[in-house]
Amino acid sequence: MEDSRTIETATMKMIEKAKKDNVETAWDRAEKMKPQCGFGETGVCCRICTMGPCRIDLVGDGPKRGVCGADADTIVARNLIRMIAGGAAAHSDHGRDISHTLLMAAEGSDYEVKEPEKLIAVAKVFGVETEGKDIKEIAKETAIKALEDFGRYEGLTLYPYTANEKRKKIWEKNDVWPRSIDREIVQIMHQTHMGVDADYVNLIQQGVRASIGDGWGGSMIATELSDVLFGLPKPIETEANLGVLEKNMVNIVAHGHEPTLSDMIVQASQDNELLERAKAVGAEGINVVGMCCTGNEIVMRHGTRMAGNFLQQEAAIVTGAVDAMIVDVQCIMPSVTQVASCYHTKVISTSPKAKIPGAIHIQFDEKHAYEIAKKIILEGVENFKNRIPEKVHIPEEKSQAIVGFSVESIIKGLDKVVIASAQPTGTVKPLVDCIVSGVLRGAAGVVGCNNHKVQHNYGHVELIKDLIKHDVIVVVTGCTAYACAEAGLMKPEAKELCGPGLKTVCELVGIPPVLHMGSCVDCSRILILLNEVAKYLNLDISDLPAAGAAPEWMSEKAVSIGTYFVTSGVYTVLGVCPPVLGSKNVTKLLTEDVEGIYGGKFAVEPDPHKAAQLMIDHIEAKRKALGI
Ligand code: SF4
Ligand code: FE2
């Protein structure tokens, strides 16, 4: 079976079924959209004021400036950093909600501090005195300090202080240390307003500031406080792909991004009252499965099975076996309700920020979290009897995977090697030793979304296979994690696809070669890991034999992630070109000049094999420079 849209057979089957059921999918809509607008694609369409829309003619004798006189450099840079603002806002608002949930846990709610030790570590970053205080008091003060960091009016955001000394100096020297997380996003909106900044370098610098406020601010706070509230991820077995849906159980798909709701859904799905009700409607039980990043959050902590990534959200409903799809925020296609209308599926929106026509809205409220989670699940349970048997087809595909690799659990896992050789434990030394000795050539972070412009999962899987074959250990988040789990790259047997060095490490430590580090905000875990290794070696992140990639990215969040990786010193290869080619200057700045400033840079390479080779070449060049 072959299909130019996806490499993944369960999804192929659902695309075929959708066609038979007369259901339109993203691929159909993408086809209708062709040819896509060249002005938009190259970033030279401006709609910032109503003298426009203006567009720059890149090839002919048409306009070279907008009505106001903005040239291609200004227009491209403004559009790009507005994407960063969107992405950083999404991640950071998520971080703010988690901080607020911590505050509520401290004041009394259905949430509690699950990791007091981690809370104390986070409190220290925020300068909260912990000695002699009870854990609720520490939680309250930490939550308030975290919330303050979003709107701080003096000083600088606090989490970037955890970076290594060399990196901090680079940010200071280039004046890109975020002052407050929200402020940098707001400043982007001001700076890109009609008639404000026209200097593409200055514009990009502001984009950099906001992106650091995301990666080393909002996202990092989201990750750290999620661990405090919901538990530190530890290695756990699971299964991935549409085959995790069950014919005889109530299927609840948790889709979106934040753990606040999904974690409660997992808990509430075990409620006796609901289980009784499920039996009463003829189901054997309640099967909660995850989709996109909220799925990553719950699989990392509970092993909740992974139904699919971004481009599988419609396919999941096409199975005809989803009784409720519960959504919160981000990456939810508005089409899910249209697809659902052809089956019995109820789409339930829960966030005041994300309502979808055709969905039932049950607003989530952290104060009554458990009760609302039960109410939401009950909708799914009661809907079980409305399944249309002749429309139900659950593909059998599902793969085993081991997930749950927080930085803490990676360090603990590697201690197995240390204990064998009686050295101090709890540091990144074993990882460093493997890299310095050349057993591992280096490390790569592969992250990001799916995009119909790339065959679904092909970019992720092919690139990663090449990396592990060359003894490069790979960490993943987001939709990449699903692609890897579905392709079997997260099971121990995947060691057979590795070079001899990585294979040995997998055998000794008992890990797969591709480590699932969580959701998109958990890209901050990758920063923390790189930073720990850099600190241990007294180097900067840019000195390390490491590289990043986003082979199938599509969202504004990915633009922010890519930018904070590059400006943290990581060489980052994109599989889809961002809308910048309309400006030679902006393109050159991002793919060449930026390296001299931040030590990292972007490259664009749609062919995953060539992209992997670029990353391997970079890793080898860094090894050579270090003399290892
Ligand atoms: Fe055109 Fe300038 Fe208005 Fe943009 S800001 S739409 S380039 S006039
Ligand atoms: Fe995500």
**Given the CA of residue 53, which atom of ligand 1 is nearest to it?**
6
What per-residue confidence (pLDDT) applies to 417?
A: 72
What per-residue string of b and e applies to 17-39 under the rule 16 or more CB within 10 Å gives b? bbeeeebebbbbeeeeeeeeeeb
Q: Residue 314 and residue 333: Cα distance in Å, rounded?
A: 8
Q: Residue 525 and residue 5: Cα distance in Å, rounded?
A: 31
Per DSSP, the three-state class of 553 is coil
- Write the DSSP assignment of 568-605 as a string of letters: TT-EEEESS--TTTT-HHHHHIIIIIHHHHHS--EEE-
pTM, rounded to two decimals: 0.98
Mutation test residue for ligand 1: of 44, 47, 57, 67, the one with most atoms within 8 Å of CB: 67
Cβ proximity of 274 and 376 under 8 Å = no
What per-residue confidence (pLDDT) applies to 422?
A: 65
Cβ proximity of 490 and 480 under 8 Å = no
Cβ proximity of 374 and 274 under 8 Å = yes
Rounded distance from Cα 262 to ligand 2 centre (Å): 14
DSSP state of 65: B
pLDDT under 70 in the chain at which residues?
A: 418-422
**Given the CA of residue 66, which atom of ligand 1 is nearest to it?**
7
**Given the CA of residue 194, which atom of ligand 1 is nearest to it?**
5
Rounded distance from Cα 171 to ligand 1 centre (Å): 32
Q: Residue 88 and residue 83: Cα distance in Å, rounded?
A: 9
Cβ proximity of 300 and 516 under 8 Å = yes
End-to-end CA distance of the chain: 45
What distance separates the 2 farthest-apart alpha carbons in the chain?
A: 73
**Residues contributing to the annotated binding site for [Ni-4Fe-4S] cluster:** 257, 293, 331, 449, 479, 520
Ligand nearest to the CA of 519: 2
Beginning with the edge strand found earlier in the chain, give each strand of the sheet holding 514-516 in spatial order. Answer: 514-516, 472-476, 442-446, 546-550, 571-574, 602-604
Cβ proximity of 495 and 507 under 8 Å = yes
Cβ proximity of 269 and 288 under 8 Å = yes
> What are 211-227's pLDDT values in tens digits?
999 999 999 999 999 99
Per DSSP, the three-state class of 409 is helix
Token reading at 283:
């189901």
Q: Residue 306 and residue 296: Cα distance in Å, rounded?
A: 8
**DSSP β-bridge partners for residue 515:** 475
Nearest to 402 by CA among 227, 267, 240: 240
Q: Residue 495 and residue 498: Cα distance in Å, rounded?
A: 5
Ligand nearest to the CA of 561: 2
In this structure, which residue's CA is closest to atom 3 in ligand 1? 49
Q: What angle do CA 174, 178, 184 make, to 5 degrees?
A: 110
Q: Residue 214 and residue 446: Cα distance in Å, rounded?
A: 18
In this structure, which residue's CA is closest to atom 4 in ligand 1? 46
**Residues contributing to the annotated binding site:** 37, 45-46, 49, 54, 68, 257, 293, 331, 449, 479, 520
Rounded distance from Cα 310 to ligand 2 centre (Å): 8
* ipTM of the complex as predicted: 0.94
What per-residue confidence (pLDDT) applies to 56?
A: 98
Mutation test residue for ligand 1: of 68, 79, 191, 193, the one with most atoms within 8 Å of CB: 68
**Residues contributing to the annotated binding site for [4Fe-4S] cluster:** 37, 45-46, 49, 54, 68
In this structure, which residue's CA is closest to atom 2 in ligand 1? 68
Tell me which residues have their CB closer than 6 angstroms to ligand 1: 46-49, 51-54, 66-68, 70, 75, 194
**Given the CA of residue 74, which atom of ligand 1 is nearest to it?**
7
Rounded distance from Cα 330 to ligand 2 centre (Å): 7
**Given the CA of residue 65, which atom of ligand 1 is nearest to it?**
7
Rounded distance from Cα 28 to ligand 1 centre (Å): 33
What per-residue confidence (pLDDT) applies to 416?
A: 77
Count how many residues are written for the chain. Answer: 628
In this structure, which residue's CA is closest to atom 7 in ligand 1? 66
**Given the CA of residue 75, which atom of ligand 1 is nearest to it?**
7
What per-residue confidence (pLDDT) applies to 418?
A: 65
